[in-house]
Amino acid sequence: MAALSRQVESAASLPPAAPLPLGHGFWRRFLGHRSAVLGGGIVLAFVLVALLAPLLAPYHPTDDANLLQRLQPPSAEHWLGTDHQGRDVLSRIIYGARISLRVGVVSMLMAAVAGTVWGALAGYYGGWFDMVSGRLVDLMLAFPSILLAIAFAAFLGPSLENTMYAVALVAVPQYMRLMRGQVLSLREQDYVAAARALGFSDARIIVRHILPNALAPLIVQGTLGVGTAVLDAAALSFLGLGAVPPQPEWGRMLNDARTVFRVAPWNMTFPGLAIMLVVLGFNLLGDGLRDLLDPRARDD
């Protein structure tokens, strides 16, 4: 009986297809996917800039203010010019990469964890909990996410931490619905039924047999979600609900540059380009991963 139990457990642990094919075949296809390579290169470049900010930035982003050098155009001394307080724009953009990437990644992780747990429970147990959860998610999705983020940020107060909470809260329904749909399709599979027959706990079935097979779409959504979080955080900071001065956050830099745009357009142009490139990088990477992790597109 013990041997039979081990055999059935082994069968129950094997999904119908490898959920994350990250072997040599995957990386070969990745290097052959132009969008994925381009997006990954952009993201990697900004990650390296953020990590090496103290070495790359020619000036301190907040302490080197000099009103005598305010609003200087790009030059050999200040490659991207100076802002309204004489601070080096390039240095602030470099240090701003740390803030924007941290906000994007942390917000995505909080939303993904909360939405995944919520969706897994709703999809697995169903019943009244699933019905109430579905109506609540529908209600949240009925409003534009940026409006909900503005409402949450205004309620919590302006700060980077509250910005991360606000951005994460409005992203939770996306992960919840995605995970719920995955669980609904996976909970009726034979290996899940075998795990139930062996008397495994619900938590073990969800964590060991359902979640691994739902990771691929969650990874794609998470990659795309980082770009969306960076954009939403920049929007909140631009509206005065995110980063507070003198933090070199890109959205805050755009807000500071509004009043001097006519005389110093570089103050708004370069932070805007940084936001655009980061969001573009994560979107291209997410689209590439969606193609590469789609079981129907695998050739290995």
- Block residue for tokens 């917000």: 107
List the chain residues with pLDDT less than 50: 1, 3-4, 7-9, 11-18, 299-300
pLDDT of residue 21: 59
How far is residue 126's CA from residue 25's CA, in Å, rounded to a whole number?
Answer: 38
How far is residue 228's CA from residue 242's CA, in Å, rounded to a whole number?
Answer: 15
| CATH code of 233's domain | 1.10.3720.10
- 14 assigned to some structural domain: no
Strand partners, 82: 88
- 1 assigned to some structural domain: no
pLDDT of residue 94: 95
For 126-210, where are the alpha helices, taking DSSP H only?
127-141, 145-156, 160-186, 190-197, 202-205
- 2 assigned to some structural domain: no
- 8 assigned to some structural domain: no
Question: Do 267 and 81 touch, CB atoms closer than 8 A?
Answer: yes
pLDDT of residue 131: 93
In the three-class reduction of DSSP (H, G, I as helix; E, B as strand; rest coil), residue 55 is classed as: helix
Strand partners, 109: none
- 76 assigned to some structural domain: yes
- 217 assigned to some structural domain: yes
- 171 assigned to some structural domain: yes
Buried b (16+ CB within 10 A) or exposed e, 169-200: bbbbbbbbbbbbebbeebbebebbebbeeeeb
pLDDT of residue 23: 59
- 11 assigned to some structural domain: no
pLDDT of residue 226: 95
When computed from its CA atoms, the radius of gyration of the chain, rounded to whole angstroms, is 23
In the three-class reduction of DSSP (H, G, I as helix; E, B as strand; rest coil), residue 88 is classed as: strand
pLDDT of residue 4: 41
Number of structural domains in the chain = 1
Question: Do 284 and 35 touch, CB atoms closer than 8 A?
Answer: yes
pLDDT of residue 16: 47
Range of the domain at 69: 25-297
Whether the model pTM is above 0.85 = yes
